[in-house]
Amino acid sequence: MRDLFSVFKFEFLNRLKQKSIIYTTLIFAVLVLLLTFIPRFFDVFDSSSVDSTENAVENIEENDDLDKIGYAINNNVIDESIVGNLIYFGEPIKYNSVKELEEAVNNEEIESGYYFESKSSFKEIVKNISLYSQNNILVQEGLNKVLRDEQLASEGIDPMKVDSASNQEISFEIVNLGKNGITGFIFAYVGMFIVYMVVLLFGNSVATLVAREKNDRTMEILITNTSAKNLIVGKVFASTLTSFLQLFIIIVAGFLGFTINKSYYPAEIVELLKEGLSFEAIAVFLLFIVLGCLMYFFLYAAFGALVSRVEDVGNATGPIQIIFVASFLVTSFGIQMPESMVMKIASIIPFSSPMSFFVRYTMTEVPIYQMLLSIALLIITTIILAFISIKIYRMGTLNYGNKMGFFKTVTKLFQKQD
């Protein structure tokens, strides 16, 4: 235990001194802090816009042609007053023919044009199809109402009474007996990305650290002074604590910024954050991120011990990244359906549960037996991977120059155990 603490202390202090970790932490902390000031910036811009109302009005008058909407009617099939009401989203301008309408649109004299072939048929004429324009839908809905009112009137029915009967005010109240999926969705996404970033940022560094010791042959010296168990566990624990310390600093920066700018946030957002941030959710998140990071870091350490050169670490750890990214993608798609069978399975499988289970827990009710099963499998998998990484590290001192295959090495380890 004394040697384990010595290794842990040495690795932890060394990591804290690394400029890459210091700079990364500062950059992310400052970035998160600045993001919390966005509502304040928008408020300043809104205040400035009030002071410049006259300039805004002048600009609108200069660009008034953008709101001009042209129209042409085929053989007076529809009354002009009706068309004027249909094109309420702009200034209607009449043209005598569809050809004149097309020329006006093409010359950018008007934003768009509408040619009414009949009361139930029209063409929208635009120079370029806009990604967001829904004016044609508004015209279509307006024509539907005109035709409906005419049909009702011909049957002796007052359209106003139909409108009144169709638009009854219904009051309702939601009684929530479980989780709030809206607030849960926000925290689920944030938690999922935190796990993703921590594992990807620090996992490779663990593998690189082990591979560098093997490359420099310092592994031989270290293993003669203490056990492989102390070396691997100490490195993994140091990496885990470093990553959480970095995460803690970033979260504190975000909390500080939010506290400073709290008055600029909408009351609904503040209420959602209060409602979703419970002690149970934080405890579940911390438990799964700690176990998940330990599991993946032990796996990275094992793959780092398989190679003899630091340059080979990227290729060696490729399978881990594929598994982890696949788990992230499953969780990303499953966040829309937290009660689906895919998410239930993903929240139990150890390689995906650090992300998937927290997503499920924050968005829906999870039976206690599923939580215990997920935690148990994650702990067992972490212990097994720790055992394998320790054995591979010890075996690595006897194998230099040749890259060892993971599955072949694991097979040899268990054969020796037998």
User: What are 78-93's pLDDT values in tens digits?
Assistant: 888 888 888 888 888 9
Structure tokens at 44: 């300043």
Residue 353 lies in domain:
2-34+180-417
Last-in-domain residue among 110, 142, 166 = 166
Query: CA-CA distances (angstroms) from residue 404 to 133, 176, 320?
Result: 59, 55, 16
**390 and 333 housed in the same domain:** yes
Which pLDDT does position 325 carry in this prediction?
A: 93
**185 and 162 housed in the same domain:** no
**94 and 15 housed in the same domain:** no
- DSSP three-state, residue 118: strand
Helices 159-166, 135-154: crossing angle, 10 deg rounding:
120
pLDDT tens-digit readout, 345-404 = 999 999 999 999 999 998 888 899 999 999 999 999 999 999 888 888 777 655 555 566
Given a contact cutoff of 8 angstroms between Cβ atoms, the answer to whether 250 and 29 are in contact is yes
Which pLDDT does position 286 carry in this prediction?
A: 92
Q: What is the CATH number of the domain that holds 126?
A: 3.40.190
Closest of 347, 348, 351, 324 to residue 337, by C-alpha? 347
Please name the residues in contact with 29: beta carbons below 8 A apart, sequence gap of 6 or more. Answer: 249, 250, 252, 253
Asked if the structure places residue 44 within a domain, the reply is no
Last-in-domain residue among 108, 143, 166 = 166
**281 and 378 housed in the same domain:** yes
The neighbouring-strand residues paired with 112 are 69, 126
**162 and 230 housed in the same domain:** no
What DSSP state is assigned to residue 404? P
Closest of 275, 309, 279, 302 to residue 385, by C-alpha? 302
Tell me how many domains the chain contains: 2
Q: Give the angle 361-363-365 at the CA atoms, nearest 5°.
A: 60
Asked if the structure places residue 45 within a domain, the reply is no
pTM as predicted: 0.70
Query: In what side-by-side order are the strands of the sheet with 121-126?
Result: 91-94, 68-73, 112-118, 121-126
**259 and 406 housed in the same domain:** yes
**347 and 383 housed in the same domain:** yes
Last-in-domain residue among 119, 142, 166 = 166
Measured over the CA atoms of residue 24, residue 26, residue 32 and residue 37, the dihedral's sign is negative
The neighbouring-strand residues paired with 122 are 116
Lowest-confidence segment of 58-67, 128-137, 213-222, 254-263 by average pLDDT: 58-67
The neighbouring-strand residues paired with 39 are none
pLDDT tens-digit readout, 173-199 = 877 766 767 777 888 888 899 999 889
**156 and 186 housed in the same domain:** no
Residue 61: pLDDT band with limits 50, 70, 90: very low
What DSSP state is assigned to residue 327? H
**198 and 298 housed in the same domain:** yes
Asked if the structure places residue 42 within a domain, the reply is no
Asked if the structure places residue 24 within a domain, the reply is yes
| pLDDT at residue 56 greater than cutoff 50 | no
**186 and 208 housed in the same domain:** yes
Which pLDDT does position 14 carry in this prediction?
A: 84
Structure tokens at 176: 């929530």
Closest of 372, 407, 374, 373 to residue 392, by C-alpha? 407
